[in-house]
Amino acid sequence: MLDQLLKEQYENNDNYKVVDISNNKRCIIFCSSHGLWDYNEETFKSNIVKGDRYEWENLANNKHLQIFGRRIFIRDIHLHFYVEGINKKVCNIDKIIETLKPLCKGYEVTLVGYSAGGYLAILLGCVLGAKRVFSFGGQVVLPQWSGAKGVLSFSDFEYLYRHKDEPLYNKWFDLCELIKSSDCKIYQVYAKFNQPDKVQAGFIKDCKNVHLFAMPSEKHGTNVWGIVYPYLFTADDKQLISYSVSHKNGIKNNLFFALKFCGVFTTFNYLFRKILKRIKR
């Protein structure tokens, strides 16, 4: 039944959407990850079929992100690192690029994603000539990705492995040269105590356009306090690069990171509300 639901969704839905809120010529593209649904029929029905879920959609409504006149949300319902595209017509990464190019023309583009969404965000950012990318644990060399816990091998990712000798697909398996040849600023936020994340960040640490933020976490993917994202996405490049350079050995804690980008009032207001919620529970 799940296979049939996936087939119907892939064949009959776009699995991307464009939301215009103003004429501002800034565009932000949010790329969903493998956390979109939980590998079972129940969550696929609730999150995709009924809920029409795209990651980052709630965050996009934050007032600080109103500077982006166009928002694009994209998802890979198969959870296959987008290698087989997003729908029946847009069935590989090249066709994703073809689809997004006219939607981005004339816009200053920012891309956001974590894990597999970060992988796509980096890839698209370089190819589309985006201004910058915020990747949270995004992979850059898929054959060297060992999973969030470091226990997998390349052959375990059957959907990647079966395309390993096909140029249409495998040309996007390693993004290092693409990144090096790009002027797009890439902010790679990763968990410094997660070995697979460290390995992936290590592949691009010497690229001139890559700026690393090593967070004090073991968790792969989103390891930044929720309040920080809107401020991070709208921060000045000089501020971001300066902070990355001054914390090249790693960020000590999330509190100082939040204070830097959100300020004292916003940070402690966020913490106060979190404490209240826990008390009420």
Give one DSSP letter per residue of 135-154, joined into a string: EES--SBGGG--TTTT---G
CB atoms within 10 A of CB 167: 8
Any residues with CB less than 8 A from the CB of 201 and at least 6 apart, and which?
188, 190, 212, 214
- Give pLDDT tens digits for 75-91: 999 999 999 999 999 99
Phi/psi class of residue 129: alpha, beta or left (left: φ > 0; alpha: ψ in -120 to 50)?
Answer: left
- 280 vs 85: which has the higher pLDDT: 85
pLDDT category of residue 92 using cuts at 50, 70 and 90: very high
Query: Could you tell me the residue range of the domain that residue 25 belongs to?
Result: 2-280
Q: How many domains, the chain?
A: 1
**Using CA atoms, how far apart are residues 228 and 21, in angstroms rounded to an integer?**
22
The rounded distance, in Å, linking the Cα atoms of 52 and 79 is 15
Q: How far apart are CA 180 and CA 202, in angstroms?
A: 13
DSSP 15: -
Q: Half-sphere exposure (CA, 13 Å, Cβ side) for 227?
A: 21
Residue indicated by tokens 């949010």: 30
pTM exceeds cut of 0.75: yes
Q: What is the CATH number of the domain that holds 207?
A: 3.40.50
pLDDT band at 277 (very low <50, low <70, confident <90, very high): confident
